[in-house]
A and B are shown apart, each in its own frame.
Chain A
Amino acid sequence: MIMVYKKRIDGRKFDETRKIEAKVGVIKNADGSALFKIGKTTAYAAVYGPKDLYPRFMQNPEKGLLRCNYNMLPFSGSGDRVRPGPSRRSKEISYVTENALLPVVNLDNFPNAVVDVFIELPQTDAGSRCAGICAASMALADAGIVMKDLVGAVAVGIVDGQVVVDLNYDEESYDKGDVADIPVAIIPSTGEFTLLQMDGRIKKKDFLKALDAAKKIVPKIIEVQRKALKNKFEVKNDK
């Protein structure tokens, strides 16, 4: 295969994410909240709970339930208006987001309760489920939920033979060569994957290379998330 994707459309290095901004405590009403921006993709996350879960038949007497809801706001797509309300896509993303966060969240002390995580995107340019997971993981920490670690998420992939991290929309829809888009979430302390999806055409060798690129870049994203949490919670000693 001839590699023609020599330079990224927006001029970034192949292993460079877009600019990331993160902040916690952005929604006063919520028990925990966060804002995570990566390039033009912006995700809010709010955590409500633990609180009683209704209807009762959904309650689990052994541990609390984590319930995530991912939603793109109507004006957040680059093309047509996004029809409000749940779609097949948003339901699936909500579901994989739950699975991405569950391994680090401990709700054993909250039987019959629920922790609701609402993820809303006012603006997107690809990578929205990953931005949502980053925001949600920070919001859960902000809410004081017992966690083993944070979770960091990013889309990696191959654009025309080249491994890239954090694909934007132009790269995701690159049509001069094969593209594979691989959203992943990683627990930084163990290097394990809690989200793994892939669309596109890719050889196993390249796929594994892309996973390595993700393992390299996620700690850097985690650093930004951690810093945002520290900004709010670190006790500053005056003396």
Chain B
Amino acid sequence: MTNKTRIHLINYLNKDIRYDGRKKDQYREISVETDVSKSAEGSARVKIGDTEVMAGVKFEVGQPYPDIPEEGTMMVNAELIPLSNPEFEPGPPSIQAIELARVVDRGIRESKAIDTKKLCIKKGELVWTVIIDLIPINDAGNLFDAFALAAMLAIKQARFPKLNGDKIDYKTLTNKKLPLTAEPVSVTVLKIGEHFIVDPITEEEKVMDARLTVALLKDNTLCAIQKGGSMPLSKEDIEKMIDIATEKAKELRKYLK
């Protein structure tokens, strides 16, 4: 089944047409919205075509790690809930969920997007932990880019809750926003046969040879890369994919405002 889909997709890609009529380097229509969950301290919804995801930020306080007593922590978690795709099953996180969470996490962590040094409340005793939860509402492909964009939007919108001693008063949000130093944007490029495409739909993801997710900063600095898929990539492939990602990141960055 997937093999036939693959032949079909490649035949059309040879004629420069995609399954849904887009160009190879064209994203589906994107829309974003923030503050979509009033119970979260920050939240966002991103739609890329039929794909819809949500990100929520919650704050916690706790003890710092002993090796970084003056730094707060951040954590990204993704749950591929069965509501969004009949192929997802309830239960502990699948490898897909883990990879998604860790790739988004690295983009934010390695670009030092959140200045964790400014999350210290009392050295060695109390620091803020920022937890970013990512969930799909409808998975129609390209969760990597949708999650990364939603995470950044939620982080940008988030406001610290009020702190009473060492207890959080979640009902009272302050005006203080998270200390940010960078804004990474993530672009995933797929290789199918000899073709490179962005923003894959599920059918395209299923027949890919390889994928490269690239997180980029505004000045085109690369801050995280992850290869996926079971086929190898040449250096020329990688270079081409980074170029495509760099170009497309500029488009996606507009949605961060």
Q: How far is the CB of A202 from chain B (nearest CB, A)?
A: 5
Q: How far is the CB of B183 from chain A (nearest CB, A)?
A: 13
Interface mask (B85-111 → A, CB under 8 Å = 1, otherwise 0) = 000000001010011011000100111
Flag whether B220 is at the interface (Cβ < 8 A).
Answer: yes
> What's the interface size class on A, roughly?
35 or more
Interface mask (A83-127 → B, CB under 8 Å = 1, otherwise 0) = 000001101101110110011000000000000000000000000
**A193 contact set on B, CB distance < 8 A:** 227, 232-235, 238
Q: How far is the CB of A183 from chain B (nearest CB, A)?
A: 10
Chain B residue with the shortest CB-CB distance to A194: B232
Chain A residue with the shortest CB-CB distance to B245: A204
Contact B224 A198 (CB under 8 A): yes
**B222 contact set on A, CB distance < 8 A:** 180, 198, 201-204, 207
Contact A204 B242 (CB under 8 A): yes
Flag whether A208 is at the interface (Cβ < 8 A).
Answer: yes
Binds B, one of A31-39, A163-171, A184-192, A221-229: A184-192
Contact B95 A196 (CB under 8 A): no
Cβ 8 A contact of B238, one of A99, A187, A196, A200: A196
Contact B235 A215 (CB under 8 A): yes
Task: Give the total number of A-B pairs whose CB atoms are below 8 A apart.
Answer: 91
Contact A92 B212 (CB under 8 A): no
Flag whether A197 is at the interface (Cβ < 8 A).
Answer: yes
Q: How far is the CB of A131 from chain B (nearest CB, A)?
A: 19
Q: How far is the CA of A201 from the CA of B214 in the complex (A)?
A: 12
Flag whether B164 is at the interface (Cβ < 8 A).
Answer: no
Q: How far is the CA of A190 from the CA of B223 in the complex (A)?
A: 27
Cβ 8 A contact of A199, one of B110, B231, B246: B110
Contact B230 A201 (CB under 8 A): no
Cβ 8 A contact of B228, one of A99, A200, A204, A212: A99
Contact A95 B95 (CB under 8 A): yes
Contact B102 A201 (CB under 8 A): no
Q: How far is the CA of A198 from the CA of B225 in the complex (A)?
A: 5
Q: How far is the CB of B255 from chain A (nearest CB, A)?
A: 23
Contact B227 A191 (CB under 8 A): no
**A102 contact set on B, CB distance < 8 A:** 230
Flag whether A61 is at the interface (Cβ < 8 A).
Answer: no
Q: How far is the CA of A215 from the CA of B234 in the complex (A)?
A: 11
Interface centre among A79, A182, A194 (most CB of B within 10 A): A194
Flag whether B20 is at the interface (Cβ < 8 A).
Answer: no
Contact A208 B221 (CB under 8 A): no
Cβ 8 A contact of A204, one of B229, B232, B235, B246: B246
**B246 contact set on A, CB distance < 8 A:** 204
Flag whether A211 is at the interface (Cβ < 8 A).
Answer: yes
Chain A residue with the shortest CB-CB distance to B227: A196
Contact B229 A99 (CB under 8 A): yes
**B235 contact set on A, CB distance < 8 A:** 191, 193, 208, 211-212, 215
Residues on B facing A (Cβ under 8 Å): 67, 93, 95, 98-99, 101-102, 106, 109-111, 212, 217, 220-235, 238-239, 242-243, 246
Further 16 A-B residue pairs, CB within 8 A, beyond A99-B230, A198-B226, A199-B109? A95-B95, A95-B98, A95-B99, A96-B227, A99-B228, A102-B230, A193-B235, A196-B212, A196-B238, A197-B226, A201-B221, A201-B222, A202-B221, A203-B221, A204-B220, A207-B222
24 contacts between A and B (CB under 8 A): A88-B98, A88-B101, A88-B102, A89-B102, A99-B228, A102-B230, A191-B234, A192-B233, A192-B234, A193-B227, A193-B232, A194-B232, A195-B227, A196-B226, A197-B227, A199-B223, A201-B217, A201-B223, A202-B221, A203-B222, A204-B239, A204-B246, A208-B235, A215-B235
